[in-house]
């Protein structure tokens, strides 16, 4: 069975209706930080189980329970979530990590290095500069891990 994982980052207090709609058929939601407001996590938890990390804008008392790094197992794959990839303090290959999810830059990216997937979903929060509004999905199943970046430009109202 393939599990569909929604991956978002940098909401900065804004959970767009278009994003929530796309997450509705997910088994799990990963939020790579800069949540911006506790209401975002509350709304996400109404959709599916959530694993989230604290980003540099998550400074309120509500964010104290968010770790800087989270580890999640999906099927037989190990995922690591951080906000800023520069803060990753382990060797994913040596640690048995299959996927590193990160945010911070607002730039979507899919990179494979030494068999590890590095996935930045981009940002689904307020539009900034010329950067796209985007999110990602991870399809995890017997065939492995398949990333999918989704641009929301055409969906925004």
Rounded Cα distance between 5 and 44, Å, is 13
pTM over 0.85: yes
Instruction: Supply the range of the domain harboring residue 42.
Output: 3-152
The answer to the question of residue 86 being in a domain is yes
Tokens 């069975």 belong to which residue?
1
For the chain, the domain total comes to 1
The answer to the question of residue 129 being in a domain is yes
The answer to the question of residue 61 being in a domain is yes
Tokens 């520069």 belong to which residue?
86
pLDDT tens series, the chain, 157 aa: 899 999 999 999 999 999 999 999 999 999 999 999 999 999 999 999 999 999 999 999 999 999 999 999 999 999 999 999 999 999 999 999 999 999 999 999 999 999 999 999 999 998 877 788 999 999 999 889 999 999 997 655 4
The answer to the question of residue 28 being in a domain is yes
The CATH number linked to 19 is 3.60.21.10
Q: How long a stretch of residues is the chain?
A: 157
The answer to the question of residue 157 being in a domain is no
């Amino acid at each position: 069975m393939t599990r569909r994982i929604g991956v978002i980052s940098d909401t900065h207090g804004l959970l767009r209706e278009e994003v929530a709609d796309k997450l509705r058929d997910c088994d799990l939601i990963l939020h790579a930080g800069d949540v911006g407001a506790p209401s975002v996590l509350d709304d996400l938890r109404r959709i599916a189980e959530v694993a989230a990390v604290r980003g540099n804008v998550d400074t309120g008392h509500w964010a104290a329970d968010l770790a800087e790094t989270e580890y999640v197992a999906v099927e037989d794959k190990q995922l690591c979530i951080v906000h800023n990839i520069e803060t990753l303090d382990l060797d994913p290959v040596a640690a048995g990590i299959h996927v590193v999810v990160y945010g911070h830059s607002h730039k979507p990216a899919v990179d494979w290095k030494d068999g590890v997937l590095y996935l930045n979903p981009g940002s689904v929060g307020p539009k900034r500069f010329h950067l796209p509004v985007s999110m990602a999905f991870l399809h995890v199943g017997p065939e492995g891990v398949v990333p999918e970046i989704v641009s929301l430009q055409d969906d925004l109202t």
